[in-house]
A = this chain, B = another copy of it.
Amino acid sequence: MAARRLKLGMVGGGQGAFIGAVHRIAARLDDRFELVAGALSSDPARAQAGAVEAGIARSYADWREMARAEGARDDGIDAVAIVTPNHLHAPVATAFLEAGIHVICDKPLAMSLAQGEALAKLAREKRLLFALTHTYAGYPMVRHARELVEQGAIGELRVVQVEYAQDWLAEPVEASGTNKQADWRTDPAQAGPAGCLGDIGTHAYHLAAFVTGVTPVALAAEVHTFVPGRRVDDHVQAMLRYADGARGMLWASQVASGAENALRLRVYGTKGGLAFDQEEPNVLWFTPLGGAAERLTRGRVTGAAAAHATRVPAGHPEGYLEAFAQLYLDAALQIDAIEAGLPLPPASRLLTTVDDGVAGHRFIEAVLASSAANGKWTAVG
């Protein structure tokens, strides 16, 4: 039987926004969601225009009202996608959780660790799904990497090298007033205390944790702002220590001239190494110690995790939107189970959630503390 289409609402993501459109495509791609309600902008006229453009039936001028109204309707939304600037994640998510509505939220989770932990607590109490869109964990080959690590393919972890480089903030584009993305992402009131660190540093940190299954116990870090006048960091570098003796480095930059969206992970263990490049996401490199590098590809590897996240055969590239859609698909599987009072389906187990967001805030706080203490080794979480 066909799986039922879940009813989805959206807060934020009006005209000109980047990530709202991405969420809408991702929600639609596997046909498990129907977007029926939205509060796309704090400006009522823009909210309405955006809703019309996106074909959304019920447009609200205010997300609080939307939470109340949708929570009260018999045919109200099952889940809400929160795609606002960061400072609204917590209040919006709280309102919808209170209204009994599942949440799918952009990262970083909140404005602080405390705020994030409160969200996690609330979601648990309400027994609602709180998915966090760490998109890159939706890639089949990232999931396969995790599975290989779980299966012992690299042996004991020794070294983690993770980086996320972009160049779109290499110049003071926020000064122009015409780059909506740059505007809020460099405004501490909307983005939070972490700029590049929160925006992409958390992705890098999460990717490493997702694949290796472990997070560092301590780090020594430095945030930096290269572009004069910028109000948040645009560069972060950190060294990592893990409980079992592994070591690592993390680098994130939004001023790396020439870099598009260069999220790359390499992990090395006693038996082998893995490498993944987000810009070539259908490939995962595995090199057993002493052997030849193997170019593993989506659609050819036989692991269950990759198979679950694969739609078309090897050689037919899937990309960023499919990875994003995977989170929506897994969210749908989990919502179905929650609603039916069933255990979460094993296939959906790799969905990233509010707990990943909390871990991200632990990372952010440790980095900021270490950086403020001139790079002193600082415990994480």
Contacts and interface: CB of A to CB of B under 8 A. Distances in A.
A76 interface: no
Given A237-B239, A257-B273, A158 B315 contact: no
A304 interface: no
Interface stretch (A104-112, A119-127, A316-324): A316-324
- Copies of this protein chain in the complex: 4
A293 B258 contact: yes
A269 interface: yes
Interface of A: 1-2, 5, 18, 21-22, 24-25, 28-31, 52-55, 154-155, 158-159, 161, 163, 166-168, 170-171, 220, 222, 224, 226, 235, 237-239, 245, 247-249, 251, 253, 255-262, 266, 268-273, 275, 278-282, 285-290, 292-297, 299-301, 311-322, 374-377
Contacts of A53: 1-2
A297 B287 contact: no
A257 B167 CA distance: 30
A52 B1 CA distance: 6
A66 to B, nearest CB: 19
Given A52-B1, A170-B289, A293-B295, A161 B251 contact: yes
B317 A55 contact: no
8 contacts: A24-B31, A158-B226, A238-B239, A256-B266, A257-B288, A258-B272, A262-B315, A293-B294
Given A24-B31, A28-B29, A237-B247, A159 B294 contact: no
A154 B258 CA distance: 10
B321 A287 contact: no
Nearest to A284: B292
Closest 10 pairs (CB-CB, A-B)? A261-B315, A258-B287, A260-B315, A317-B319, A258-B273, A316-B320, A319-B319, A293-B295, A292-B294, A257-B289
B292 A158 contact: no
